[in-house]
Structure 1
Amino acid sequence: MELLDTAVKNRVLESMMKIIDKKRDKILEANKADLDAFQKDDQALYDRLVVDQSKIDGMIQAVREVMEQEDPVGKVISKRSLPNGLEIVNQTAPFGTIMIIYESRPDVTIEAAVLAFKANSKILLKGGKEAINSNKVLVECWHEALEENGLSKDWIELFTLNREETQAFLKNPSEKLDLIVPRGGERLIAFVKEHAQCAVLVSGRGNNFAYVADDADWELAKKVMVNAKTQKISGCNALDKILVDQSIPDFEGKLKDLAETLKSHKVEIVAEKEVLPLLNGASEIPSEDTWYEEFLALKALVGQVKGLDEAISKINKYSGGHSSTILTKDKEKAAKFMEQVDSAAVYHNASTRFTDGGQMGVGAELAISTDKLHHRGPLGLEQLVTNKYYVFGSGQIRE
């Protein structure tokens, strides 16, 4: 795709904000059709599907935030002159064509597209069938904004392929793909990795952990864990596993208190056999596989550990590499935890629910990457570029 001037891109985004605002009723009507057709057997998926006036306000705000951010393309990363006279400049460049595969959330249709467009990349949006009506209307808004400013609709495309058609496209794409971002569970990620012919950036599962150290402020720890677990169960940054140090004063009393606190928030508790008698109403985990699960529900697994090292080892074995938090008064203990736990975001005395582009000051995000290449954590506008070397010479040859 051609390199667009920043002013042109921002004019499209100005138009887009006005169009979304103007078409609120049409967006809500389309979303109602999706909600009416949805089998409400997956509460987390249903919650992600809902669009209301507040969600539309959020879409407009996401576009505004990206519009106000500095253009990430063409920024000089490094510049050097070599003894042979070559001038070498490394600067940011667009990816080219990005494909994102996601379920349920119509707001991703706005956030992913606005980021890709401002980063001068074409985007192919493969949303889930459950949000088809909402996504169609939102992409119509994008196309109107593009055409209003003299640009091709090809910058933003909606794919409505089924699983078999998607598989065939990934194996033999009809156009060159430069990056694929699967946002979903392990099955989707494995599916994309198996069939993709280009780079895949994994927006991994959550399965986030909290470790309550032996010196934790118990009331603070409970407040943080309740927020991380219950504030939004459909978030990939929601808490799933709780590890309580056996050396915490009144271990048995604190586990009983934790059980009552979680139950008061309607959280189902599953637990290791060793602590089951202390957690009233809890059920034993059926197998070790439960430690690997991302629940996306009012459900938490509670276990015990002997010290910081065991907590770190357990988290690194089972977690999704997304977010982990330590509850402790000891800054040195927290530093060791944060350095050695292999997660995209590590916290000290704070809820995992802050692993989010907006909450971390990044702005709208394409995904939360759990990959280590080329970026980890919230993938915002600044991260949605690659780089290119520009080498300027005057006839130099290599001897």
Structure 2
Amino acid sequence: MQLLTTELKNNVLSSMAEVIDAQRNNILTANQKDLDSFQRDDQALYDRLVVDDRKIDDMIRAIRTVQDQEDPVGRLLSSKALDSGLRIENRTAPFGTILIIYESRPDVTIEAAVLAFKANNKILLKGGKEAVNTNRVLVACWHEALTRQGLGNDWIQLFTLDRQGTQNFLRKPSQPVDLIVPRGGEHLIAFVKEHAQCAVLVSGRGNNFAYVAADADWEQAIRVIINAKTGKISACNALDKVLFDQRIPDLNEKFKSLEAMLHDHGVQIFASDTLLPWLDAATPIPDESIWYTEFLALKICMGLVSGMEEAVSMINRYSGGHSSAILTQDVPQARLFMEQVDSAAVYHNASTRFTDGGQMGVGAELAISTDKLHHRGPLGLEQLVTNKYYVYGNGHIRT
């Protein structure tokens, strides 16, 4: 594929920031059409759909941030001269064409595409039908920015296929696709993995856990739990499950205070049988499946464990491998927990809400990967390239 200069790519991004700002009213009008058509039976999905002036400012900020970042293409990873006289370099290279399939969030049309474009990839965007009007206007902005710099619209394309059309494309693409990134719930990810004919980089479910150790600072633990649960329920880094060490002193009194605070925030509590006697309005856990469930809602599930070993076992069994936290004053115990828990991000005395490219210093992100191949965690600009070996010889042959 054509390798664009850093200057040209940055000029496109600069134009894109200007175009979005100029088209602000059209973007808001299109988004209102999508909001008016949306049946608000899924609050998390609705929250992701909303675009306002602040969201547009965030889009522009994300573009400027990526524009200022170092070009990830062609970076030298290693270089060596062999005894044979061959000189071998390993350099970063674009994937080629990246298909991004996502639900609701129109800001992905900007933040994901800007990263993939700066990494010299062509981008195919398959947004959800609920955001079709907003996405059309945003992709039109992309096309205007590309045209200003003399580039074709094929660098960034919007697909408005229905489910069957998407399935047909995944099974038999009408153009080359090198990588697919599904951003959404478990059903979307399973659908893409079932039908895709190329590599799929999974942006997995959340279902994040926290373990409160016996020596945890209780006031600190409450602040972390409330923030991680209620800060943004539609985020994949929101907290869903909390495991409490049964040796925590004065459990009865402490659970009463936690229950009251969760109730004040409108959070429904599911609790294991061992916890129910200490809670006034908790719902019994109906069956084991709830431990696997990512809520994306004002719900939380709580249970008692005998210690860190049981907590780690439960987290590794039920969580989505996204983010897990331990609340303890014991630093060696925290380190052991962080080593043993199989999650993309592990926390000591901090909210899981920090699993975010901007919060982790990565900058704008394409997704949070829960895969273990290629990259795990926030997918920023540096992670949207692959590598290529350059081998230099002088008539070398292998004998």
Aligned to 2:379: 379
Runs of 4+ in 1 over 3 A off after TM superposition: none
Q: Where in structure 2 are the equivalents of 1:119-268 lying within 5 Å?
A: 119-268=119-268
Task: Measure how far apart 1:253 and its partner are.
Answer: 2.0
1:354 aligns with 2:349: no
SS at match of 1:274: coil
- Output the amino acid matched with 1:192: V
Aligned match of 2:307: 307
1:192-227 deviation per Cα after TM superposition (whole angstroms, max 9, x unaligned): 111100000000000000110000000000001100
TM-score, normalised by the number of residues in structure 2: 0.99
Question: 1:121-155: per-residue Cα shift (whole Å, max 9, x none)?
Answer: 00100000000000000000000000010001100
TM-superposed CA distance for 1:251, in Å, is 1.9
Contact 1:260 1:280 in 2 (8 A): no
Q: Equivalent residue for 1:35?
A: 35
| 2:346 alignment partner, SS class | strand
- Residues 215-268 of structure 1 show CA distances to partners (whole Å, capped at 9, x for unaligned) of 000000000110000010000000000101001111222222221121111110
For residues 22-101 of structure 1, what are the structure 2 equivalents within 5 Å? 22-101=22-101
1:291 aligns with 2:309: no
Tell me, what secondary structure is at the counterpart of 1:326?
strand
Q: Residue 163 of structure 1: CA displacement? A: 0.4
Residue aligned with 2:387, SS: strand
Secondary structure of the corresponding residue to residue 372 of structure 1: coil
- Counterparts of 1:134 and 1:228, CA distance in 2: 29
Q: How far did 1:176 drift?
A: 1.1
CA distance in 1, matches of 2:279, 2:5: 60
TM-score (norm 1): 0.99
Contact kept, 8 Å, 1:255 with 1:278, in 2: the verdict is yes
Cα deviation for residue 278 of structure 1 reads 1.2
Task: Count how many residue pairs are aligned between Structure 1 and Structure 2.
Answer: 399
| Distance in structure 2 (CA, Å) of the matches to 1:371 and 1:255 | 36
Secondary structure in structure 1 of the residue aligned to 2:275: helix
Amino acid aligned to 1:62: A
| Bigger mean CA offset, 209-218 vs 265-274 | 265-274
Q: Is the 8 A contact 1:11 1:149 kept in 2?
A: yes
Q: Which residue is 1:276 aligned to?
A: 276
Provide Cα deviations, 1:159-195, integer angstroms capped at 9, x if missing partner: 0000000000000000111000011111111111111
**Aligned equivalent of 1:105:** 105
Segment of structure 1 superposing worse, 27-36 or 242-251: 242-251
Rounded to whole Å, the distance in 1 between the matches of 2:148 and 2:233 is: 39
* Residue aligning to 2:320: 320
**One-letter amino acid of the structure 2 residue matched with residue 149 of structure 1:** Q
Question: What amino acid sits opposite 1:198 in the alignment?
Answer: C
Q: Where does residue 398 of structure 2 map in the other structure? A: 398
Structure 2 residue matching 1:4: 3-state secondary structure = coil
After superposition, the C-alpha distances for 1:72-117 in whole angstroms (9 at most, x for unaligned) are: 0000000000000000000000000000110000000001110111
Q: Which amino acid aligns with 2:208?
A: N
3-state SS, counterpart of residue 105 of structure 2: coil
Deviates more, 1:205-214 or 1:243-252: 243-252
Secondary structure (helix, strand or coil) at the match of 2:274 reads helix
1:11-61 Cα offsets, whole Å, 9 max, x none, are 000100000000100000000000000000100000000000000000000
> Identity of counterpart residues, as a percentage?
71
